[in-house]
Structure 1
Amino acid sequence: AEWDLVNVICTSGYADDIMTAARKAGASGGTIVNGRGTAKADDIAFYGSTLVPEKELLMMFVKREQTEKILASIAQLSCMQKSGSGIAFTFAVQEFIKLGR
């Protein structure tokens, strides 16, 4: 199977809800990394939304045929409806191996 890495950067506290929705759409799991945004004041004005500095990054390896359904399920979450609440993007995975098996 071909794989994608689905990445979701969201306001801190939303990654668990996003992971729940992604699981319902076929994802098996993910990794949440805490971080903070680095937007400048003029970036906020340019995009016309309020950006919260505390962020979470959720990363999930998913089978390519599941990617669209998973992204759609995330986009439909009520916590993702407010402008500036997050962004989702994917990378095509060239190769990976499971370690420790």
Structure 2
Amino acid sequence: MKFSIVVAITPEELEQHAIEAAQQAGAAGITLLNGRGIGAKTKKTFFGMTFEGSQSVLLMVVAKSLAEPVLEAMHGLLVHDGDSRGLAFSLPIEHLTGIDLSQLEQFEQRLQRPL
């Protein structure tokens, strides 16, 4: 079975919505990280410190065939009226170790069910 990792970076306030959208699209397990970004646009400063809102980083290992549906779900959440509130991308996984065999069975069962 081939896998991909889907990475989604969202504003913290959209974290729960992103989790729900990813799960509905077929992502089973999600690892959450906190982050801050440095973008091209200048942000407000307060006493010389740049203020950036907190970001949530979602990492999802999915079967390769589920990467596109999960990305489409993230697009629906993150892009609104042409404005982007985050980003999502996928990368192929060449080697994978440490995955629980029961999770592998869940992946295979999800692939057999229509989304």
The amino acid across from 1:87 in the alignment is L
TM-score (normalizing by structure 1): 0.78
Distance 2:25 2:38 in 1: 31
Q: Name segments (4+ residues, structure 1) moved above 4 Å.
A: none
Q: CA deviation at 1:99?
A: 6.2
The equivalences for 1:1-101 within 5 A come to: 1-39=1-39, 43-44=40-41, 52-77=52-77, 80-81=79-80, 83-98=83-98
RCO comparison, higher one (Cα < 8 Å, 6+):
1
The amino acid across from 2:6 in the alignment is V
Q: CA deviation at 1:44?
A: 1.1
TM-score (normalizing by structure 2): 0.69
| % identity of equivalent residues | 24
The amino acid across from 1:27 in the alignment is A
Aligned length: 92
Aligned CA RMSD, in angstroms, stands at: 2.3
| Structure 2 unpaired stretches of 5+ | 43-51, 102-115
